[in-house]
Amino acid sequence: MDRIALLRVLHVLGAVLLLGNVTVTGFWALFLYRARKAVPFRPVARAILWADLLFTAVGATLLVISGVLLIRERGYPVLETPWLLRGIVALGASTLLWLAVLIPDQWRLERTDPADEARLRRVFRRWNAVGWTAAGLLFYGLWAMVSRS
């Protein structure tokens, strides 16, 4: 397998891990929130947090490293390649939301007393809204990269 093909495979693998994980994390968290009276909230919230950290970090790392290497190998001028710039900006904006809001809110969810309904609802709603916004940015970035538009 040549170098470009290997980098493409790693890039797609990173995108699959990242997009798959953020999508599945959103659904698992919604199920947890809805079933919070019947399941042990904190241990499940902790498991969701660590799975999110692991798969998001691995997927994003693969995506970024392979993407940078593909840009260098192909000689793409980033600022003059609109689809590439859109994809990078979407990934960057999503990453900022993940670091600034989502991870801190996941920590808060994991540490909130399940009996504190008001706080749990407030943090979960913000995490959910910002999370789906961040996921939407990633899907937009995927569309920009694949369609090259």
| pLDDT tens by residue, 5-48 | 999 999 999 999 999 999 999 898 898 889 988 888 888 888 88
Residue 105's pLDDT band (cuts 50, 70, 90): very high
- Read off the DSSP letter of residue 78: G
CA distances from 65 to 8, 39, 89, 124, 138 (A): 11, 39, 16, 32, 16
49: nearest Cα among 101, 105, 124: 105
> What residues have CB less than 8 Å from 95, skipping those under 6 apart?
60
What pLDDT is attached to residue 77?
A: 94
What pLDDT is attached to residue 149?
A: 85
Q: What is the rounded CA–CA span in Å between residue 44 and residue 49?
A: 9
Residue 93's pLDDT band (cuts 50, 70, 90): very high
What pLDDT is attached to residue 41?
A: 84
* pLDDT score of 1 more than 90: no
Given CA atoms 63, 146, 76, 137 in this order, what sign does their dihedral have? Answer: negative
- Average pLDDT value for the chain: 93
Q: Around Cβ 126, how many Cβ atoms within 10 Å?
A: 14
